[in-house]
């Protein structure tokens, strides 16, 4: 369950409310298509080849049916709830002495954003693209969301 959450969250940037609604059938094609729960906006997300491979391995190991949710609790035949997942993540943080201030289901969405921003050379263009991906009103919201500091922005100039 945790591997699935980390992979999907880190490769799609989806909110947990949307991840919980995904089924294994969502990964049969080249894209995930959905209407976001929070915004009610349509999203079409390309499935990265690494994510596809992870999902295929997980699905075959648990022998899930296409219509089953990807975060299905097999003991209760229900979808895991956000509170249960957050408890699991807090336990992982404790067990592995992770030096994170906050570790929750939302961490993977932020990780996605920070990775995109980093891999694009900390560019303004990547912040603009992320503001569209995250449905933020402008890049100021995206900067604040990702926790980007003025020092990090100034450090971009040192990379030239």
pLDDT at 129: 95
Within 13 Å, how many C-alpha atoms sit on residue 25's CB side? 8
pLDDT at 102: 86
User: Coil, strand or helix: which one is 50?
Assistant: helix
pLDDT in tens, the chain (160 residues): 899 999 999 999 999 999 999 999 999 899 999 999 999 999 999 999 999 999 999 999 998 899 999 999 988 889 999 999 999 999 999 999 999 888 999 999 999 999 999 999 889 899 999 999 999 988 999 998 898 887 887 887 887 8
How long is the chain? 160
| Residue whose C-alpha is closest to residue 13's, from 126, 91, 102, 124 | 126
The first and second tokens of residue 154, run together, are 């100034």
- For tokens 């989806």, name the residue: 14
pLDDT at 101: 85
pLDDT at 51: 97
Q: Could you give the C-alpha distances from 21 to 39, 78, 151, in angstroms and in order?
A: 14, 11, 38
pLDDT at 149: 81
């Amino acid at each position: 369950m945790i591997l699935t959450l980390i992979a999907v969250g880190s490769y799609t940037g989806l909110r947990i409310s949307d991840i919980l609604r995904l089924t294994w059938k969502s990964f049969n094609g080249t894209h995930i298509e959905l209407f976001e729960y929070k915004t009610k906006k349509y999203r079409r997300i390309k499935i990265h080849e690494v994510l596809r491979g992870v999902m295929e391995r997980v699905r075959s190991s648990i022998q899930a049916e296409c219509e089953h949710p990807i975060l299905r609790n097999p003991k209760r035949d229900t979808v895991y709830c956000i509170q249960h997942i957050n408890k699991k993540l807090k336990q992982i943080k404790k067990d592995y002495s992770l030096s994170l201030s906050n570790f929750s289901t939302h961490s993977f969405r932020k990780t996605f954003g920070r990775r995109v921003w980093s891999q694009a050379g900390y560019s303004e263009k990547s912040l603009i693209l992320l503001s569209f991906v995250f449905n933020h009103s402008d890049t100021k919201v995206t900067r604040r969301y990702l926790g980007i500091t003025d020092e990090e922005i100034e450090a971009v100039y040192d990379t030239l």
